[in-house]
Amino acid sequence: MPFFLLPIFSIQCATYWSNRKNDLQDIVTVGAEKPMYGAALQVGPVPVGVLFLGGESDPGKYEEGVGLGLRGGEFGTYRSQQLVYFFLGGASFLSGEPIRDNKGKQIRDKKGVLLSENERANIKSYSYRYFAFFNDPIKNRKKRKKESFKRQAAEDLVKETGKPEFYAYMPEADPKPFGYPAGTSWKVEATAGLYGGARVGVNFAELADFVLGIFTYDLLDDDVEGNEPKSFPLPSQTESPNEE
């Protein structure tokens, strides 16, 4: 290998191993959280049990509870909220600390998902109600189908004409149409506690992403190292969803 190519090779090698490390950490969840009361078992995006996890920082200002451990591919603190009543309720999650407005309020996107300065944390974060997994309105399905058709039409035009400017007519794909990333549908997770509690789980989609990532195939589109940062809604552009 020519000497002048060594720095480029070293950078690419470091990026590759950094992405594989992140993928490996995505597979397992082990954390301690509070305040937590009850127990639940989750297979896919919907759990079964009776559980409350959350917290209040100021009177009338509801925020997620605090956790510490390995979750969402990151070691450290995270924000987590969960309500399970048999198979109803909802959940939210974000690694690290959320960004806040000038009043100290957590910033969320249009689906209510907390936002962070960390790009990968935003990819793994989620906020959704379990009932939404069973209730997919016709208008939402039609909208996704229409956007998919437009994206395919734009790709076909670029291939036929060789003009990439047609990509400007391509609607941006929503990575979380139901409020959670695709990998959430393939996890098994147990949670239990009395004030303080524990969460343990394994995600089989993340396991597949790690194995395929060895061969440089990014199944879950979460290899952020070495790529251009993906944009997320700025606080001034974010609509405040209804508080849970």
- Of 124, 27, 132, the C-alpha closest to 90 is 132
Residues with Cβ within 8 Å of 178's Cβ and at least 6 positions away in sequence, in order, are 45, 128, 132, 133, 136
* pLDDT tens digits for range 156-181: 888 888 878 777 777 777 888 888 99
Measured CA to CA, the distance from residue 233 to residue 236 in angstroms comes to 8
Helix (H, G, I), strand (E, B) or coil at 151: helix
Token pair in block for residue 217: 């195939």
- Of 125, 119, 115, 98, the C-alpha closest to 184 is 125
Q: Return the bridge partners of 63, or none.
A: 55
Q: What is the pLDDT of residue 242?
A: 39
Backbone conformation region of residue 89, classed left if phi is above 0, alpha if psi is from -120 to 50, else beta: left
Q: Judge contact between 26 and 181, C-beta under 8 A.
A: no
Q: Is the pLDDT of residue 235 over 80?
A: no
Q: State what percent of residues in the chain have pLDDT above 70.
A: 85
Q: What band does 148 get if pLDDT is binned at 50, 70 and 90?
A: confident
Token pair in block for residue 48: 């079964």
Q: Is 175 buried (19+), middle (13-18) or exposed (0-12) by CB count in 10 A?
A: middle
Give the pLDDT mean for 229-240. Answer: 49
Global pTM reads 0.79
Measured CA to CA, the distance from residue 78 to residue 149 in angstroms comes to 37
